[in-house]
Structure 1
Amino acid sequence: MSHRPNNEPTALYRLYDDSDVLLYLGISFSPEARWGQHRNEKHWAHQVVRTTVEWYPTRKAALAAEEKAAAAEKPLHDSSWRKTGGGERPMWLDLEGQQKVVDGLAQEIEHGQHWMGRVLMSGAVGKQFGVSRATASNAMRVLRDRGLLEYRHYGRYSVLEGPTKTDFDKQFEVAREQRELRQAYLVWTVAELREAMKDLPEDTLISARLAGRPSVLPGQTAPDK
């Protein structure tokens, strides 16, 4: 239940997939924040490619518009439980996505792609496999029951099988720094950077990290050999 004033402007938002099927509609004082919650919680969130927002002067007006729209447009994932006040909140399960995580993560663990004791977070696992955090959590509970993971707290699980951290580092030590750099950054050439920044003001601040350190930095002279 919201604790915000009922006379505050409220948005009716709609979420569509790539075939323009209405997946869900709802109301919120802050639709962007609500969409952020859906990305973590709804098993269908990865299917959303388009959103629309309509603002109403009060929450009451938005509720009336939501009820009318839900009846006429029939979103694939209905939220009518909230308006009726009766019955239990439905639990939407993405069994296909859950199985994808179970199979994929189990294979990674069994092939030594995670060291023993490594902490995996359900949100990151969900992003890796293209499912919601809730679906990833369900899958990780299955792997916990199989003895591959141990629950820690707040969606975090530790890996129970695999190489030690030392052995893992030895196995993947080749170009490790370069691999981490490629995962975290786009690596551009100097020419590409000049082209990308040519229209920026001269005093624009840029945060950068060199993929390879030059032997002589600007303003320095090479040491005598």
Structure 2
Amino acid sequence: MTELHAQTEVAGLVPVRPGPDHVALYRFFDADGVLLYVGICDEPMARWSKHASGKLWWPSVHRFRLLWLPSRREAEKAERDAIVSEKPLHNRAMNGIPNGDRFPVVHLHKFTRELYGDDLFCTRDLIEDLGIPEGSAVNKVRELLDKGLFQVVGKKLGRSGRAVRHYRALPVD
């Protein structure tokens, strides 16, 4: 079995399928080595293109690991085992993560920095852009304010046209 390690930025790197029955088991990691997602597929580039166009976490992907397995059955078992034991941040199935907690507070700061940079955002932005349930978003913002990772910048007009509190995710040294 071939294991491939590469930066996603490497141009032209296409993982080659060793045989017609082989299935890829892949892992995506962020720049800090946090495991974001584990999946399987027959055609990695086509599958990853779907992730890129539809997953909010995709911009966080910094590198991947790919392992070709000789059959779908082996790949499905390996995927299940990896998700259960390694607990990737964005795998919902088999991971035991409640739907309302896709963005644990420990990772939310990082995602907001990547999504908004130094731009301002409000709680409604987190709800609509990241899909965080309203009550969860309010509590997580409060917790990140208490930790000094978010800063209240003031009020400005929100999407609703009302003045709402806006925040900035502060950089961490």
With structure 2 as the length reference, what TM-score do the two structures score?
Answer: 0.46
Q: Which one has the bigger strand percentage?
A: 2
Q: Which of the two has higher C-alpha Rg?
A: 1
Q: Which one has the bigger helix percentage?
A: 1
Q: With a CA cutoff of 8 Å and minimum separation of 6, indicate the structure with the bigger relative contact order.
A: 2
With structure 1 as the length reference, what TM-score do the two structures score?
Answer: 0.36
